[in-house]
Chain A
Amino acid sequence: MEHVVPALLQVLSPASIAAILIGTVFGTIVGALPGLGSVVAITVILPFTFGMPIVPSVALILAVYCSSIYGGSISAILINTPGTPQAAATNLDGYPMAMEGKASLALGWATAASVFGGVFSTGVLIVAAPQLAAVALKFGPVETFALIALALTCIAGVSRGSTLKGFAAGILGLFLATVGADPMTGDLRFEFGYFPLTAGVGLLPVLIGLFAISEVMVRVFRPHQATPQIVGTVGFKLAPLREWLIRWKSLVKGSVIGSFVGVLPGTGAAVAAFISYAEAKRAGRFRDKLGKGEPEGIVAAESANNAVSGGALVPTLALGIPGDAVTAIMMSALIIQGVQPGVRMFAENPDVIYAAFIVLILANLAIFTVGALGVRYFLYALRMPVPLLLSVVIVLSFLGAYGDRGNEFDLLVAFIAGVVGFFLRINGFPTAPVVIGLVLGRIFEESLRQGLILTDNSFQGFFVGHPIAVALFCVTFAILFLPPLIGSVRRWKGR
């Protein structure tokens, strides 16, 4: 409680409140624009946090994160094109409702379900993160190494595209983290006599290039999409309470599913939304009407995808291990502000942790206010000419790359990462594992080398006297080798 009041005072400052409102409006708009999504939204807003104090900057980023997931539902309902992959399940019932002239009502269902899911998962975060951090305090270098190995395996293994390509992307990220000074001795590695490389490859330029610049290239490369046609008149209308009460199970189930899926590395809001939608289709009260404009489908999908936000922050804040690209970017934003997420953050920056919890609650409530008042105005954003949008993304992305260290070399890194990211994406290589590998690479190497010192330079020592690490290694090996083994057995049986 001693940290709650100072955190609350910081969050209730005019700067933080303004950051929450601006972040919510911005995130909703970018989330609504088809193809951009949460990652680009946070990447583009990042340079604005460089000159801000820590709590307002955290408020801005968290507000953009939550609202960008919600924003995807607006275009899913109104133009039959989900703004983000997370909103694809919302599209299944949202657009048919809009076609029946109930667009305002569909938006009301989506907004309220999103807010419920977001607040619910914040509760999960508040309860789970300190517990997890307390457990993680017992982790030594061997356990940390095993945990990061497991997280990277999960992220690469369940990445979109092939598992093999996911692993390649993860290793690329881990390797990029080794460029520059050795963390133990300070000796220079892979700098090729080029001075700017002695400081290593900056995280921010790489992620800006991989996500934002490559997104611009992909949009230019792929065929032009026609200007979206918006269905019917649009406003915001909430359904009566009795309509909510008969669908409460899907609302709560969606929130639980979203919170749980969010904690798992490499999954994300789209997976949560579809699992929740499938559950509503299996056991929902209106399961026979799902897919034909039934609000229960919207409730299930939206509560789940927004509940991922709190769940995903549990391992990020408690262990310092981001589960996806969005949380990796948020983690890097915190690092830029001088706060290292992880176990020590709870001891060293409790005010920031509690401020983040309060901000998440307020940001979700702001979604309701902004959605209710602004949904008709967000439609203008959907009509924004694509070239203008791309120009904005390019300029703000390069500002982000430059602003972190004020280094012109980082602009070049962002450009190269953009080109590499483009080629990775068009051939089905996921880019999220690159960033997560880069974020975790240094800690991974340090924990490996410290672990080797503890075990007298013996890899076998990692498996003796470290039961937690052994359990984590077993899960890692199972994820690595079970799927191909099962596949081989099936093929052998099929002959």
Chain B
Amino acid sequence: MVRIGRDVLYGAVMLGFGAFLLWEASDPKYRSMGVGTPFDPVFYPRILLYIWMAVASAVTLRGLVRREAPPKETHDWVKLAVITGVIGAYTFSISFLGFFFSSVLLCGTVCLFLRVKQPVLLVIFSVLFPLATWFTFVHLLALPLPVSPWFSRL
């Protein structure tokens, strides 16, 4: 995708996002709020959204007018998709597996996928780093972390 297309695409997404929020801000429920004050609670957000729409239109228009050559860079979309998926899975797994086990899985997966070639290093790092972090937070800093359903503290 060329850069000009990207700017237009981003501008269009911004316009869509702004339009949706303006639609939400026009909800009649807000008119009955803010009793005793001269403005309803979405008065200020609405000003922001109008400016946002103006800026989004300008980004889109500029994208249409300016014919810039796309930057010559090589990108790895597959790696990005996998890592984003792994991070996303980690986000949700912390609640179910607890901090320690989900972090072991995350470290192991990231290192395996990004080709850490020493298996001993991979295993040691994937277990020891989450363990050391868990110990530091739970025991030294006394900050509770999410726990797994199998162990009461880990």
Contacts and interface: CB of A to CB of B under 8 A. Distances in A.
Nearest to B10: A427
A36 interface: no
Given A47-B137, A220-B83, A395-B103, A412 B91 contact: yes
B26 interface: no
A125 interface: no
B41 A419 contact: no
- Sort chain B's interface into a size bin: 35 or more
A394 B33 contact: no
B88 interface: yes
A444 B108 CA distance: 44
B45 A398 contact: no
Given A50-B143, A385-B116, A449-B39, A175 B111 contact: no
A220 B74 CA distance: 12
A81 B7 CA distance: 30
Given A51-B143, A387-B114, A399-B137, A221 B75 contact: yes
Nearest to A169: B55
Contacts of B44: 178, 445, 448-449
Contacts of B83: 216-217, 220
Nearest to B47: A448
A395 B126 CA distance: 11
A392 B91 contact: no
Nearest to A387: B114
SS of A interface (majority): helix
Contacts of B34: 182, 184-185, 187
Contact of B90 (A175, A398, A422, A429): A398
B6 interface: yes
Interface-centre pick from A51, A165, A391, A396 (highest chain B CB count, 10 A): A391
A445 to B, nearest CB: 5
Contacts, number: 164
Interface stretch (A64-72, A90-98, A400-408): A400-408
Interface string B72-110: 011111011001100110110011000100010011001
Contacts of B7: 427
B114 A190 contact: no
Interface-centre pick from B38, B45, B116 (highest chain A CB count, 10 A): B45
B116 A387 contact: yes
Nearest to A48: B141
Interface string A147-186: 0000000000000000011011001101100100010110
Interface in B115-154: 115-116, 121, 125-126, 129-130, 133, 136-137, 141-146
B146 A178 contact: no
Nearest to A213: B87
A222 interface: yes
Contact of A168 (B56, B144, B145): B56
Interface in A187-219: 187, 189-190, 192, 213, 216-217
A131 interface: no
A43 B56 CA distance: 30
Nearest to B115: A387
Given A168-B52, A402-B145, 13 more contacts: A168-B59, A171-B55, A185-B33, A185-B35, A220-B79, A223-B73, A385-B116, A394-B87, A395-B103, A398-B94, A402-B146, A408-B94, A418-B87
Interface of B: 6-7, 10, 14, 21, 24-25, 30, 33-39, 41-42, 44-45, 48-49, 51-52, 55-56, 58-59, 62, 73-77, 79-80, 83-84, 87-88, 90-91, 94-95, 99, 103, 106-107, 110-111, 113-116, 121, 125-126, 129-130, 133, 136-137, 141-146
Which 3 pairs across A and B sit closest by C-beta, in order of nearness? A51-B141, A387-B114, A182-B41
Interface of A: 47-48, 50-52, 164-165, 167-168, 171-172, 174-175, 178, 182, 184-185, 187, 189-190, 192, 213, 216-217, 220-223, 385-388, 390-392, 394-396, 398-399, 402-403, 406, 408, 411-412, 414-415, 418-419, 422-423, 427, 429, 445, 448-449, 452-453, 457
